[in-house]
């Protein structure tokens, strides 16, 4: 664990260069012209030789970006200075971004997430979580890089059991941790081993099984959360007891990413070795409104994201490109999902070559027309 440039951390939130970071549904995206590269970070990820990035997440207030890499580290980057300039540099130089904070884990990182109420003007709210192999869930201070506390799930042998996925509730008061056939729920204010165990498998009804690989919480309906598993199923659950609302089946690969729409009416899902992003209509459980085709041919988690207005979808893929889709217009083509047909297959608005390797991380800024991408994948000698 390492903290760098602590005095510089999130200083843009306090400087005269401050941008308006209020989340707005009216962000304007110009998809008719090629995007401008405003910053990149390459030097920090060149060592060790087998290092590569494995995803990214914007802070909820938009002032910094958190990345995950194969050297078991989470790094935070401030927005590059060029974002604050009204016009692009005449020299065409691209800012080389340097991390302002590094949190190092002891093993492979499974998942990570920001505290949803994070605000750079309130240091107490600036923290994020990580889960990694053979370790408890850790809470990291986003200003100092220090470990604040740990949440310790134990198995039936009284041994530490690593969470495969983590996510906060919408208000940040609870922490959901995914395991094999089970979810453990911690109170955020009570670190330690005390938690509520919720078994998700059932013999009485069709239910989720296998490892809970991803978790999503609905901001529009805070009592509702979704769990995805490598068994290719998605379960919807409601608070306060975590009862199953319904089960969704149709993903061709193990589910690796879930995201609710801003209005809470639909749920998007993507899987490993699966080229389809599915949009589920939660008003008609089991109905797929549309599919979006991307290229995912490995077991790697490949992120996608929705803009605040709910119109645009963007996704990474194996080809080194990001693809944009317009969810408002769609297309008349039909697509088969499992044994059923969905009404619409989204047409691509555009695709942009951004990396020379697989794009596994792809996140839209919460309040600015920016997209962050990360790339890389594990390679094996022939």
pLDDT of residue 382: 61
pLDDT of residue 193: 95
pLDDT of residue 152: 96
Whether residue 137 is predicted with pLDDT greater than 90 in this model: the reply is: yes
Whether residue 296 is predicted with pLDDT greater than 70 in this model: the reply is: yes
C-alpha distances out from residue 130 to 28, 152, 251, 363, Å: 33, 12, 27, 18
pLDDT digits (tens, 9 = 90+) for 10-34: 455 444 455 555 545 568 888 888 8
pLDDT of residue 255: 97
Q: Which pair of tokens denotes residue 247?
A: 């089960």
pLDDT digits (tens, 9 = 90+) for 309-323: 888 999 999 999 999
Contact by Cβ (8 Å): 176, 187:
no
Beta strands 359-364; 196-199: pairing state: unpaired
pLDDT of residue 26: 67
pLDDT digits (tens, 9 = 90+) for 183-231: 999 999 999 999 999 999 988 888 899 999 999 999 999 999 999 999 9
- DSSP code of residue 84: G
Distance CA(78)–CA(372), nearest Å, equals 12
Distance CA(200)–CA(214), nearest Å, equals 14
Angle at 121 between CA 69 and CA 110, to 5 degrees: 20
- Per-residue pLDDT, averaged over 65-73, amounts to 96
pLDDT of residue 7: 46
pLDDT above 90 covers what percent of the chain? 72
pLDDT digits (tens, 9 = 90+) for 336-358: 555 455 558 898 999 999 999 99
């Amino acid at each position: 664990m390492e903290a760098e440039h602590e005095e510089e951390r999130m200083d843009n939130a306090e400087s005269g260069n401050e941008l308006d970071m209020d989340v707005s549904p009216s962000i304007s995206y110009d998809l008719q012209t090629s995007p401008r590269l405003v910053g990149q970070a390459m030097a920090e990820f060149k060592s060790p030789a087998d290092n590569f990035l494995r995803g990214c997440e914007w802070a909820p207030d938009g002032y910094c970006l958190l990345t995950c890499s194969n050297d078991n580290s989470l790094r935070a980057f401030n927005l590059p200075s060029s974002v604050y300039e009204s016009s692009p540099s005449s020299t065409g130089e691209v800012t080389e971004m340097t991390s302002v904070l590094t949190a190092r884990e002891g093993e492979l990182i499974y998942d990570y997430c920001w505290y949803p109420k994070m605000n750079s003007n309130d240091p107490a709210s600036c923290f994020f979580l990580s889960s990694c192999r053979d370790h408890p869930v850790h809470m990291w201070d986003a200003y100092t890089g220090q470990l604040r506390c740990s949440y310790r799930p134990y198995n039936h042998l009284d041994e530490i059991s690593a969470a495969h996925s983590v996510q906060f509730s919408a208000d940040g008061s609870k922490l959901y941790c995914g395991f094999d056939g089970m979810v453990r729920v911690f109170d955020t204010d009570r670190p330690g081993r005390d938690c509520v165990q919720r078994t998700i498998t059932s013999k009485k009804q069709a239910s989720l099984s296998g490892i809970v690989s991803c978790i999503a919480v609905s901001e529009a309906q805070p009592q509702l959360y979704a769990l995805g598993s490598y068994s290719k199923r998605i379960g919807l659950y409601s608070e306060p007891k975590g009862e199953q609302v319904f089960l969704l089946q149709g993903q061709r690969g193990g589910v690796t990413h879930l995201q609710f729409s801003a209005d809470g009416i639909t749920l998007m899902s993507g899987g490993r070795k699966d080229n389809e992003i599915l949009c589920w209509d939660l008003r008609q459980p089991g109905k797929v409104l549309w599919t979006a085709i991307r290229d995912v041919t490995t077991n790697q988690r490949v992120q996608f994201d929705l803009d605040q207005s709910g119109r645009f979808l963007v996704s990474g893929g194996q080809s080194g490109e990001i693809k944009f889709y317009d969810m408002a217009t769609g297309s008349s083509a039909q697509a088969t999902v499992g044994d059923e047909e969905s009404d619409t297959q989204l047409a691509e608005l555009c695709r942009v070559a951004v990396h020379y390797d697989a794009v596994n991380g792809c996140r839209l800024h919460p309040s600015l027309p920016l997209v962050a991408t990360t790339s890389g994948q594990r390679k094996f000698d022939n």
